Chain A
Amino acid sequence: MIINRTRYLTQGIAKILIWIGALSTIAVMILILLQILREGLPVLHLHFFLESPKEMGREGGIFSTIVGTVALTLVAIFVGAPLGVGTAIFLREYTRESKISRMIRFGTDCLAGVPSIIFGLFGFVFFVIRLNMGWSILSGGLTLAAMILPTVISTAEESIKAIPHSYREVSYSLGGTKWQTVTRVVLPGALPGIFTGILLSVGRSIGETAAVILTAGSSLVMPTSLFSPIRTMSVHFYILAREGISMKMAYGTGAALILFVLIINVMAQWLISRYIRHRS
């Protein structure tokens, strides 16, 4: 009887502790977001988004950093997405489990774990110096493309895997070649999943700082070409906060950053849930 009671007592205590742990995790996350939004949202007027920073960011808005962020992200996606989706197609449709596919998976898993500062060092010596691209949108975008590759590959692979085998068989039985089957049957079906991966990569590109500051620089001048140096929103936020230039502007930029990342993630989650409902 006593043993029984302690068993249930232990269970009760353990479950209470777990509830506390899980709820406080969420509470802290909400606290982080709210504290920055509370101070930052009042700064977010339309002209904050549409004016470029003045006096190192003490005055004005964040327009040029938004342009920089968008340009960098676009380069990253344009380069990273085809490579990632191509890899996923190869792994799922063009090869079986083999030495090569295991090697590719190992390489991708390792790449996913490489810290962003290492990507920054690599991008700096390879793109900025060796390929003589300087601190630029191109150097930063290509570095980011390498960083997002594992995310694009794994999400694209998951969604290609989810296409029923019978779809492919129908296409083959109608005389379709492998490539026709891939482009007209597999890819259209896997598109929402692929798009989710791309959205997550956009989120990651927007938030990335360490790799970007070493490869794209921190210039506040409006970019004119792919070879212009830029400052992204995250880098701007970091510099404002660390160098104590303007706390008000730092809060504003932080709040804008959080809003952008929130919107992109909500869109990605919505796509995933729609996709799952569609499949089942």
Chain B
Amino acid sequence: MQLQEKIIGKILLLIALSSIFILSLITFFIFEEGIPLILKIGPKAFLLGQKWIPSKGLFGIFPMIVSSFWVTIGALLLGIPLGLACTIFLSELIPPSIATLFRPAIQLLAAIPSVIYGFWGLIVLVPLIRNYLGGPGLSILAGSLVLSFMILPTIITISEDALKTLPPSYKAGALALGATHWQTIWRVLIPAARSGIVASVILGMGRAIGETMAMIMILGNAVKMPTSFLESARTLTTNIGIEMGYASGSHRQALFATGIVLFFIIMTLNTLAIFLSKRRAH
């Protein structure tokens, strides 16, 4: 009996290590495939190179790094205010009974597949932008708009959690001092939940940088330095997604190397977010 319990404990430990195991496998294989190319052409030529012409052996991803950040920042510009509005709406403005009807809708926003968002962007936003604002339509603006909706569930669920775990005395105290409801929300509750809200935004940012399929459908995929939100662009993810299907040799290695850069950015953001939400817990 004792022995059996011990064995079960060990097996469960092994199972529990699976997520770390998978994470190490992912890291190992992406690096193993991508590092040789970075070493061959040099990290500077790879990271800061402006030209991506696989047939000539030119693998510079700088325009894609910049485009990824443009698209993401655009998404945050709309996503943060909308996310905060929904969070405050859910936790402060409407009675809990109605909020429980509203919350599944937010969950549904997370459940809609990214290809559906991409398709909608393609058939609705792209023509609108092309007709009213000019440019090819397939643009950073269209990508940012779609992404801002895709990151909302991340921002809303995590910041709502952060607001919910605040001691009720914060709100009661502020109201008792004569603050209006809005002053209480804006000057007391939001600042107190700051680290959780920032963590939610960082995770949303990670999600935006990592999104692939929707972006392939609406960014237009031109490899160039972005100069305006109305231009087409290619991000790190779409570079991998578009070319992985037919790439081979050093071209394929270059796509894995692109993956390394993406992985590095995402891991930095993740660690930052985890650190911030830890600080909230203590």
Interface residues of A (CB under 8 A from B): 7-8, 10-11, 14-15, 17-22, 24-26, 28-29, 32-33, 35-36, 82-83, 86-87, 89-91, 94-95, 100, 103-104, 106-111, 113-122, 124-126, 130, 146, 149-150, 153, 177-179, 200, 203-204, 206-210, 213-214, 234, 237-238, 241-242, 250, 254, 257-258, 261-262, 264-265, 269, 273
State A209–B109 Cα separation when bound (angstroms).
Answer: 17
Are the CB atoms of B26 and A122 closer together than 8 Å? Answer: yes
Report B-chain residues with C-beta under 8 Å of the C-beta of A250. Answer: 119
State A155–B58 Cα separation when bound (angstroms).
Answer: 46
Report A-chain residues with C-beta under 8 Å of the C-beta of B104. Answer: 265, 269
Residue of B whose beta carbon sits closest to that of A262: B108
State A150–B158 Cα separation when bound (angstroms).
Answer: 16
Query: Which one, A20, A118, A177, A207, contacts B113 given CB within 8 A?
Result: A207
Nearest chain B CB to A200's CB is how many angstroms away? 8
State A28–B172 Cα separation when bound (angstroms).
Answer: 35
Chain B interface mostly: helix
B206-230 CB contact bits vs A (8 Å, 1 = yes)?
1101111100110000000000000
Are the CB atoms of B16 and A91 closer together than 8 Å? Answer: yes
State A163–B81 Cα separation when bound (angstroms).
Answer: 38
Is B270 interfacial (CB 8 A cutoff)? yes
Measured as residues with beta carbon below 8 angstroms from the partner, the interface class of chain B is 35 or more
Are the CB atoms of B30 and A207 closer together than 8 Å? Answer: no
Residue of A whose beta carbon sits closest to that of B256: A121
Binds A, one of B39-47, B69-77, B162-170, B178-186: B178-186
For this complex, 27 residue pairs linking A to B, each with C-beta atoms less than 8 Å apart, are A10-B182, A15-B93, A21-B81, A22-B86, A22-B89, A25-B109, A33-B112, A87-B19, A106-B274, A107-B19, A111-B19, A113-B210, A115-B206, A115-B207, A115-B209, A118-B262, A119-B26, A122-B30, A124-B244, A125-B29, A146-B22, A149-B22, A178-B8, A178-B9, A214-B244, A237-B116, A261-B112
